[in-house]
């Protein structure tokens, strides 16, 4: 599955465009974020992307779960937001 | 619909218990959060609550959207996470 990594500095509108693109072509996408700032941007991006795909009759939902992500050999706990067509 | 307001200081496990309780009785619940810290706790709570309701055969999804919330007469933009049984 395609994975989009979101940081606290990611622009929600840009991430939303990427989510919408993958949803249209593949029907699902995984959004990964570590830390409050990144999770905030990721959730905003998903909210925005709903409006991007809605005119095409697509409704998306998200399923949050925890994920261990290895960064420079260090294990960190992040959030995985699986975005899928309902 | 029942509304749970989450702050940056909310404990995800406690919020998850509340989400699971409302999901079991009503099938859906609205989670409101303003700011990165609060949204972070809300998303973690939803991730945890999935594990609480899963043994009962319930799978939940969330639908994020923006919401204008009035606090002490001041309008602020928050995030509304609609949590529903899939």
Strand duo A28-33 + A3-6: pairing = parallel
pLDDT digits (tens, 9 = 90+) for B27-76: 999 999 999 999 999 999 999 999 999 999 999 999 999 999 888 888 88
What is residue A71's predicted lDDT score, i.e. its pLDDT?
Answer: 83
Residue B22 has pLDDT above 90, yes or no: yes
Strand duo B3-6 + A74-85: pairing = unpaired
Strand duo A28-33 + A60-71: pairing = unpaired
Report pTM. Answer: 0.95
Residue A70 has pLDDT above 90, yes or no: no
Residue B6: both structure tokens together: 């989450």
Q: CB count, 10 Å around CB of A67?
A: 16
Q: B7 at the A interface (CB within 8 A)? A: no
- Chain center to CA of B67: 13
ipTM of the complex: 0.94
Q: B3 at the A interface (CB within 8 A)? A: no
Q: A7 at the B interface (CB within 8 A)? A: no
């Amino acid at each position: 599955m395609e994975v989009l990594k979101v940081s606290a500095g990611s622009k929600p509108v840009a991430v939303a465009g990427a989510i919408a693109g993958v949803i249209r072509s593949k029907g699902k996408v995984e959004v990964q974020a570590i830390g409050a700032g990144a999770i905030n941007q990721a959730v905003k991006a998903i909210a925005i992307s709903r409006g991007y795909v809605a005119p095409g009759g697509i409704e998306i939902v998200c399923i949050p779960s925890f994920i261990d992500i290895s960064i420079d050999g260090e294990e960190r706990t992040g959030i995985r937001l699986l975005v899928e067509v309902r």
